[in-house]
Amino acid sequence: MSVKYETAYSAGKRVLLIVNPKAGHGIAEPRVKYLEHMLKKYGFSHDLYYTQYAKHTTQLTLEHGEEYDIVLCCGGDGTLNETVEAVMQLKKKPTVGYLATGTTNDFARTLRLPRAIGPAVRMMANGKTQCMDCGSINGALDFVYVASFGAFTRVSYTTPQRIKNFFGKSAYLFDGIKSLKEIRPYHARIVTEDTVYEDDFIFVSVTNSLSVGGVMNLPSDLVNLSDGRFELLMIKNPVDMLEIPEMIHGCVDFHYENDNIILTQASHVKIEIENGAPFTADGEYAGTYKTAEIVNINPGYEILVP
């Protein structure tokens, strides 16, 4: 069967192709060659760079991004984070393309982006884009889909993907129970444009995604990736630690009818933590903060979507 190559949008479009060879399962050289072949077939012209160290994607995008129509990053959510961080600093913003080759790939799952090279390039050639919100922490760090602190921040990204694949949602529960003795509450005051929350929390996340950590889920009828608002999930410290498995189940299956779980929305979140807490942004360590001011950036950046 012959393939019709759609070049109306893609003909002459210049692509900055950035490959992180170490992300997740990696992308082997033969697959990169095939990706280059498909880009040419669909009428794109491209230049290829491999990342060699942390933040190399950001550096490459800052140095060369304005010369291209599209920055296509191949890697995990951390690679996407570095790409968006750079794009948001450019005056002439290229469109972002994302071929997910990481282990968690929360954002790719949310957008239903193709994992296979052929469908991914075909999607790019169709030229459909969506403007995405993103976020900043204290005005210095852009994140694509999640900033969080607390117990399950570590659990989400240290549970091996093969265990998640084998046990499914139960893997989150198992690893959460295994880490019970490590769970500690953080006394925090959390201020949104609507409400003030002050309590002892074991987990707090500010998200723009349907999935966090590859397992934790948010209701699809609540999440809008371009509405200028985050989903704010707060889990209070339970009186009885035996309640935690039930709470984890609630987050995995988005049953939030639990007095210890608060799910709301906000555009601006200020978090004051009594003794400070380590944060992650898109699954990577983002620093330890006593005060974190998290702001939704809308409009954010354009990304190619199905």
Residue range 119-169, pLDDT digits in tens: 999 999 999 999 999 999 998 777 999 999 987 665 555 555 555 545 444
In which residue are the tokens 């390039």 written?
121
pLDDT classification of 94: cutoffs 50, 70, 90: very high
Is 168 found in the same domain as 39?
Answer: no
State the average pLDDT over residues 174-191.
Answer: 74
Q: Is residue 185 part of a domain?
A: yes
Residue-number span of the structural domain to which 95 is assigned? 14-127
Per-residue pLDDT at 276: 94
State the average pLDDT over residues 4-28.
Answer: 78
When comparing pLDDT for 217 and 146, which is higher?
146
Contacts of 292 (CB under 8 A, 6+ apart): 137, 138, 147, 270, 271, 273, 279
Q: How far apart are CA 163 and CA 123, in angstroms?
A: 31
> Is residue 146 within 8 Å of 230, Cβ to Cβ?
no
> Is residue 143 within 8 Å of 282, Cβ to Cβ?
yes
Portion of the chain with pLDDT greater than 70, in percent: 77
State the average pLDDT over residues 218-240.
Answer: 86
Burial of 274 (0-12, 13-18, 19+ CB in 10 A): exposed
Is 220 found in the same domain as 83?
Answer: no
Is 81 found in the same domain as 179?
Answer: no
pLDDT classification of 1: cutoffs 50, 70, 90: very low
Per-residue pLDDT at 151: 73
Q: How far apart are CA 300 and CA 139, in angstroms?
A: 14
Is 151 found in the same domain as 121?
Answer: no
Q: Is residue 305 part of a domain?
A: no
Q: Is residue 134 part of a domain?
A: no
Is 209 found in the same domain as 243?
Answer: yes
Per-residue pLDDT at 293: 97
pLDDT classification of 257: cutoffs 50, 70, 90: low
State the average pLDDT over residues 223-246.
Answer: 82
Q: What is the CATH number of the domain that holds 247?
A: 2.60.200.40
Is 164 found in the same domain as 223?
Answer: yes
Q: What is the CATH number of the domain that holds 83?
A: 3.40.50.10330
Q: Which of 111-115, 189-193, 245-249 has the lowest mean pLDDT?
A: 245-249
Is 242 found in the same domain as 266?
Answer: yes
> Is residue 106 within 8 Å of 214, Cβ to Cβ?
yes
Is 259 found in the same domain as 228?
Answer: yes
Return the structure tokens found at 165.
Answer: 């694949």
> How much is the pTM?
0.82
Q: Which of 107-111, 112-116, 215-219 has the lowest mean pLDDT?
A: 215-219
Q: Is residue 4 part of a domain?
A: no
Is 238 found in the same domain as 113?
Answer: no
Q: Is residue 5 part of a domain?
A: no
Is 32 found in the same domain as 98?
Answer: yes
**Average pLDDT for the chain:** 84
Per-residue pLDDT at 77: 83
Q: Is the pLDDT of residue 87 over 50?
A: yes
